[in-house]
Structure 1
Amino acid sequence: MPTILRRDSGDLLHRQLFLALREQIRRGVYRVGDHIPTDEQLCQSFGVSRITVRRAVADLVEEGWVERRIGRGTFVKKSSANDVGFNRATFTESLAKRSKQTQVAVLEVSKCSPPPHVAAAMGLSKETQVLYASRLRSISKVPLLFVDSWVLLEYAGAITVDTLKARSISEMLLSEGVRFRFVTEELFAVAADPHVATHLQVQVGAPLLSVARLVSRDVGKAVMYLTAYMTSERSRIVFNHEEQDLGRMYESQLIHDVNTSEADD
């Protein structure tokens, strides 16, 4: 029985097929060197035309996931695209590497009162002024990360449009001697609002990955709140733990935002 792609999703069929095949490669359904199904088999499996299949496979080839071998078929390719590439870089080294690998467009730097949810997370009153910075990080003009940051003014002296073009806010804070003693991160899925969708070049309402990070120099003394948005089509989040870290790994929490009274109705 074929896997039917959604024709009412707003996503083109060949893009849906591309994402489905890429996910199968990532999960190891097809491993490096494996022959993926033929065009005819994919047509039957997904209930699509040969043109749709060819466009999807062409996208996989272009992004380095597979390679076509004349007279033999299409095979999963070993490349940087599907290589997780764990490394043991320090946090500071990772920040510097990301800054060098991506191009940043500084969209806004201004003083303002933070949104209610940011003020609550940072333990601030609604009237407190902070420095707000909005940036878009890209590689080869392909947008990857839309980032909003709110920083207490006492730590934001070095943050300007010009300095943000060279270094991230975290790099600047660390170089100024600010200790990141407590960092709380929350990962969740959101629907792209019109502003974020425009910059990430996705449809309004498209599912996005979001990371919210609260940085504090001591208990109850927040320094920065950051929110980053990305699409799973271009980005993924990888955690790397060594044996001695495994005990602390379980300090994280899985929180379900469900109203039990409504769920029981």
Structure 2
Amino acid sequence: MKNPQLPLHFQVSNDLRKRLQSGEWGIGELFPTDKELMKAYGVSSTTVRRSVDEMVREGWLERKPGKGTFIKKQYVETLGKLTGFFDQVREKGYEPSSKLIRVDQVEISEFEDLGLEVFKTKKVFLIEKIQLMDNTPVVLVKSFWPVFVGKKLSEHDLVRRGTYEVAQQELGIRLEEAHQDIYATLAGPEEANKLGISEGAAMLVMQRVVYSQGKPYEVSLNYYRADRYRYRVLLNNDTIEFENGIIAEEK
């Protein structure tokens, strides 16, 4: 494992993060002791403590005095691949589901500053839902589609199946690329209530436009709990790489 070009604690942290993401340990499970990690990685106690401290700061682990270190949570992670929340959560070995809030035809004028003008029409179809991972709310989604597509989507089970999955497998729509912006915000009363978090809690917002054959098929606004979601980009000197991973995203 050792790479002389990278600090040891960095290498250990990266490996532990991958093991956590793979589901090697479950939430609430006791994490290996420092001595066990020292033996497994062949490093000093200082290196192990630094690595574990980093995982605690990132929210993966939780120290309980007198009891040990425990797995705190799992994340949903989207890393440059146009897949839905359901696919990402399943890849992590967890159970995805949705709670439908609103499924209806709406006027574009009802939703300002969301870029819905890209549809070049006055009405669109809204699918608003809460996405859950093992029954824990992760993301509030407001997903807008052309009316004829949205109506067909609404005929399917959108509680147990992802919208992208239905669009591609049942309607034959090949979602080819997306343009998206990601930014930080604080939870307002609506987001806090629907996601079960405190008002003012940190959130990530993803605003996305999805295309098929050069035409816009979906505009979505996704409010993610910052404690359950990450977006990771891998960089080097020559290229930018996206690695698919759920610290779980969808439709």
Q: TM-score range by the shorter chain?
A: 0.5 to 0.7
Asked whether the 8 Å contact 1:180–1:217 carries over to 2, the reply is yes
State whether structure 2 residue 113 is matched by structure 1 residue 117: yes
Q: Distance in 2 between matches of 1:148 and 1:137?
A: 11
Asked whether the 8 Å contact 1:106–1:161 carries over to 2, the reply is no
State whether structure 2 residue 242 is matched by structure 1 residue 246: no
Asked whether the 8 Å contact 1:137–1:146 carries over to 2, the reply is yes
State whether structure 2 residue 187 is matched by structure 1 residue 192: yes
Q: 1:82 to 1:132 in 2, by over 3 A?
A: closer
Asked whether the 8 Å contact 1:151–1:223 carries over to 2, the reply is yes
Of 129-138 and 96-105, more deviation after overlay is shown by: 96-105
Asked whether the 8 Å contact 2:85–2:162 carries over to 1, the reply is no
Of the two, which has the highest radius of gyration?
A: 1
Report the CA distance between 1:134 and its aligned residue. 0.8
Asked whether the 8 Å contact 1:86–1:240 carries over to 2, the reply is no
State whether structure 2 residue 219 is matched by structure 1 residue 225: yes
Matches within 5 A, 1:4-19: none
Q: 1:193 to 1:85 in 2, by over 3 A?
A: closer
Report the CA distance between 1:85 and its aligned residue. 9.5
Asked whether the 8 Å contact 2:183–2:206 carries over to 1, the reply is yes
Aligned to 1:209: 204
Asked whether the 8 Å contact 2:101–2:128 carries over to 1, the reply is yes
1:96 is matched with which residue: 87, 94, 109?
Answer: 87
Q: 1:87 to 1:159 in 2, by over 3 A?
A: closer
Asked whether the 8 Å contact 2:74–2:228 carries over to 1, the reply is no
Q: 1:240 to 1:86 in 2, by over 3 A?
A: farther
Asked whether the 8 Å contact 1:121–1:214 carries over to 2, the reply is no
Report the CA distance between 1:184 and its aligned residue. 0.6
Matches within 5 A, 1:66-105: 66=62, 74-75=68-69, 81=73, 91=82, 95-98=86-89, 101-105=95-99
1:180 is matched with which residue: 175, 184, 187?
Answer: 175
Asked whether the 8 Å contact 1:151–1:224 carries over to 2, the reply is yes
Q: Which runs of 5+ in 1 are unaligned?
A: 1-24, 36-59, 250-265
TM-score, with length taken from structure 1? 0.56
Q: Distance in 1 between matches of 2:84 and 2:236?
A: 18
Aligned to 2:136: 142
Q: Which runs of 5+ in 2 are unaligned?
A: 1-9, 17-31, 36-55, 243-251
Asked whether the 8 Å contact 2:101–2:129 carries over to 1, the reply is yes
* Greater percentage in strand: 2
Aligned to 2:28: none
Report the CA distance between 1:110 and its aligned residue. 0.5
TM-score, with length taken from structure 2? 0.58
* Greater percentage in helix: 1
Asked whether the 8 Å contact 1:136–1:199 carries over to 2, the reply is yes
Alignment root-mean-square deviation, CA:
4.4
Q: Distance in 2 between matches of 1:232 and 1:169?
A: 22
Letter of the structure 2 residue corresponding to residue 122 of structure 1: V
Indicate the structure whose relative CO is greater, using CA pairs within 8 Å and at least 6 residues apart: 2
State whether structure 2 residue 86 is matched by structure 1 residue 108: no
Q: Distance in 1 between matches of 2:239 and 2:190?
A: 39
Structure 1, residues 95-139: CA drift from partner, whole Å, max 9, x if none? 4353662221111100002323234462424xx211101111223
Letter of the structure 2 residue corresponding to residue 211 of structure 1: M
Q: How many residues align?
A: 190
Asked whether the 8 Å contact 1:158–1:172 carries over to 2, the reply is no
Q: Distance in 2 between matches of 1:224 and 1:131?
A: 10
Q: 1:82 to 1:227 in 2, by over 3 A?
A: closer
Identical counterparts, % of pairs: 15
Report the CA distance between 1:158 and its aligned residue. 2.5
Asked whether the 8 Å contact 2:188–2:199 carries over to 1, the reply is yes
